[in-house]
Amino acid sequence: MAEEAGYINYFETLALPNGANPGEVRKTYRKLMKQLSNQISSVEMTPERQSQFIMQIATMNAAVYVLKDKERREAYWTEREALIALEAEWCSLDESDIERHNKLRGHFDNEVNAFLSKYVQEMAQNAGTDNEVIEASRWDEAHARHATQLLRQYRHHLYHEILERLPYHEVTKPIIDWEERQRVVGELLEGLC
Amino acid sequence: MARAVATPEKIVNLELTAKAFSYAVYTGDFVNFRFLFSSLSPVRSWTSQVLETEKYSYLLPKGDDENDSMYQEAYKAVKNDAMWAFITNELKEKRPAQLPAELVLLIADNAVRASKFTIAAQAYELLRLRRKMQAEFFKDADEALSSGNIPKAVQGYRITTGLAYDYSAFPEPLPKVANHQGDALRMHGRYPNSPKECLSVLPEEDHTNLALGYLLGDGAAANRLREYPLETRLAFVKELVRRMDPHWDTFVERYRKACTLVLEFADRMQHKNTTLEDEIDEQQGHVPTQITEALLGRTIENGEWWQYLKDLAYEHPAAILFIARQRFGNHEILMPRLRGESSLPTVLGLAENLPEGA
């Protein structure tokens, strides 16, 4: 769903319906990891592909790590739902209520950063120390080092995906005529040639 | 107790304020534009800073700037009734100002016009338009490339890669800037144990793709170019180098000189029927560093090969694609190395007028 884009859904990562039980999660993870290993060994490795595969493995590892544990999984889902509700509340506010807007913006920004930091970066890193995950994904220190920067990048990518839907505050909302923009792009290119 | 004397509120020159805003828009200067809206701004009535002073002269148009049509357009946008009312209101409010999107967009476009791509990236990012603008520039650049308009395509790719953002930057995402020096060190990081391992003698296709990725500093953009025929990519690299490095011809001259020195060195060894080690001993342990110095055009005192490489990558980014590391005893130098049948050095003028035997 568009309004949930950016709030990483680990059930989707493992191609499972929301609420799938830990047994299903483990089974699907092992199956997907096997498929991915076969895919990795069948292609010529380039730096771009390597980064892409490491990200895929890191995200799947984080997914199984979060969803196989009852407490972690409940905490994750509750925090995610609360954030989605908070975004909906903020977006439905009357634009003239600047004080309430600013208050919710600050609160939401803190919450969304904490959520993404915890569930995108921390959980992927913690998953790398889980024996079951290490065995299935052959995750090692070198992978963890490589993944650090990629995960940070991915976190910001998700943050921006959410940000795109939120009310503007540092700048007024731009009114963009894309036909006019295309003309400007053409002019800029011609002018600089 | 002395009575507190109320300080009279500063009278801000509104015409000068409008000029300062217009000048920031005209020059695509997002930093100055933000500063004018900041709490310390000289155009706020409650600050002790005064715009008319020498200190802030950099915020105002100079010389003929006011006669430039682009400046006049910026001034018109600033002085538009609704816009001017918005600006003056934001300056009155004692809170962080909200920036007017119309002017931020103009700043971004003017920054692109002035080739200040990182500024443009920041402004488009704030407006949440950066990725869409990148896509628009890519689209036009690809169309230009397909129709054979190489200069326009190169410019399009340069803008697009210039608008990229590094979301992994610390402490917060920043515009991505190509790091040719770091990349050059990485590319020459492993010592080539045989000539075949030198990146400068890679097969033509691979060498051209490597050149594109390195020069654009963006793997994704370079991958898009792989779809085009080799001739197109070669022409693209030629134009890209010409735009990135206006002094490339100086390097070409130096490269020839370095080739001459390599030949002289090889010739001396051949005529004496001696080994490389003997030659070094004869020179009392001196390494032919003059070859590396010839490439850079100057000497770095006690400079190691990697220092020369970094400086070379800074001054002539493309240069590092046509050199190799060479060990002499405990020392290493950088020397020219080319693949004879490759077209890449030819299109860049490196293979022309080389000394006989090179």
Q: Which residues are CB-contacts of B125 (< 8 A; sequence separation ≥ 6)?
A: B165, B173, B175
DSSP string, A138-164: T--HHHHHHHHHHHHHHHHHHHHHHHT
**Measured between CA atoms, how close is A148 to chain B, in angstroms?**
9
Q: How many domains does chain A have?
A: 1
Secondary element (H or E) of residue A59: helix A47-67
B136 touches chain A (CB under 8 A): yes
Q: Between B115, B149, B168, which is nearest A153 by CB?
A: B168
Q: Which of B127, B138, B163 to mutate to test the interface with A (most CBs of A within 10 A)?
A: B127
Q: Between A153, A163, A188, which is nearest B112 by CB?
A: A188
Residue B216 carries which DSSP code? H
B127 contacts in chain A (CB < 8 Å): 171, 174
B147 touches chain A (CB under 8 A): no
Q: Which of B69, B124, B128 to mutate to test the interface with A (most CBs of A within 10 A)?
A: B128
pLDDT of residue A8: 95
Q: Between B100, B109, B173, which is nearest A188 by CB?
A: B109
**Measured between CA atoms, how close is B167 to chain A, in angstroms?**
5
Task: Calculate the CA dihedral of residues B197, B198, B204, B205 and round it to 10 degrees.
Answer: 60
pLDDT of residue B329: 76
Quickly tell me which residue has 């300080």 as its tokens.
Answer: B7
Find the residue in A nearest to B220 (Cα). A48
B225 touches chain A (CB under 8 A): no
A192 touches chain B (CB under 8 A): yes
Q: Which of residues 88-117 of B touch A (CB under 8 A)?
A: 96, 98-102, 104-105, 109, 112-113, 115
**Measured between CA atoms, how close is B312 to chain A, in angstroms?**
25
Residues A66/A10, Cβ–Cβ less than 8 Å: yes
* Inter-chain CB proximity A171 and B133 less than 8 Å: no
pLDDT of residue B275: 62
Give the helix ranges, DSSP H, for A14-93. Answer: 22-42, 47-67, 70-91
Mean pLDDT lowest among A6-10, A91-95, A189-193: A189-193
Q: Which residues are CB-contacts of B69 (< 8 A; sequence separation ≥ 6)?
A: none
Quickly tell me which residue has 């070669």 as its tokens.
Answer: B234
ipTM here: 0.81
pLDDT of residue B2: 60
In this structure, how many other beta carbons lie within 10 angstroms of the beta carbon of residue B1? Answer: 3
| Residue pairs spanning A and B at CB distance below 8 A | 82
A103 touches chain B (CB under 8 A): no
Q: Between A153, A175, A185, which is nearest B136 by CB?
A: A185
B257 touches chain A (CB under 8 A): no
A155 contacts in chain B (CB < 8 Å): 167
Question: What tokens were used for B335?
Answer: 């020397």
Domain that holds residue A72: 2-192
* Inter-chain CB proximity A189 and B156 less than 8 Å: yes
Quickly tell me which residue has 């807007």 as its tokens.
Answer: A101
A182 touches chain B (CB under 8 A): yes
B171 touches chain A (CB under 8 A): no
Q: Between A160, A170, A175, which is nearest B99 by CB?
A: A170
Q: Which residues are CB-contacts of B39 (< 8 A; sequence separation ≥ 6)?
A: B47, B96
- Show pLDDT as tens, one digit a residue, over chain B (358 residues): 566 666 667 889 999 999 999 999 999 999 999 999 999 999 999 899 999 999 999 999 998 999 999 999 999 999 999 999 999 999 999 888 999 999 999 999 999 999 999 999 999 999 999 999 999 999 999 999 999 999 999 999 999 999 999 887 777 788 988 899 999 999 999 998 887 888 888 899 999 999 999 999 988 899 899 999 999 999 999 999 999 999 999 999 999 999 888 888 777 666 665 566 565 555 544 567 889 999 999 999 888 999 999 999 999 999 999 999 988 777 889 999 888 778 899 999 988 766 666 5
How far apart CA A123 and CA A115 sit, in angstroms, is: 11
A153 touches chain B (CB under 8 A): yes
A172 touches chain B (CB under 8 A): yes
pLDDT of residue A44: 83
- Residue B152 to residues A179, B143, B147, B161, B227, Cα–Cα distance (Å): 20, 9, 10, 14, 18
* Inter-chain CB proximity A171 and B104 less than 8 Å: yes
**Measured between CA atoms, how close is A15 to chain B, in angstroms?**
27
A17 touches chain B (CB under 8 A): no
Residues A7/A114, Cβ–Cβ less than 8 Å: no
User: Residues A100-154: pLDDT tens digits?
Assistant: 888 888 899 999 999 999 999 999 999 999 999 999 999 999 999 999 989 998 9
How far apart CA B69 and CA B66 sit, in angstroms, is: 8
Over 90: is that where the pLDDT of A72 sits? yes
* Inter-chain CB proximity B129 and A176 less than 8 Å: yes
For B301, counting Cβ atoms within 10 Å of its Cβ (0-12 exposed, 13-18 middle, 19+ buried), the class is exposed
A174 touches chain B (CB under 8 A): yes
* Inter-chain CB proximity B137 and A184 less than 8 Å: no
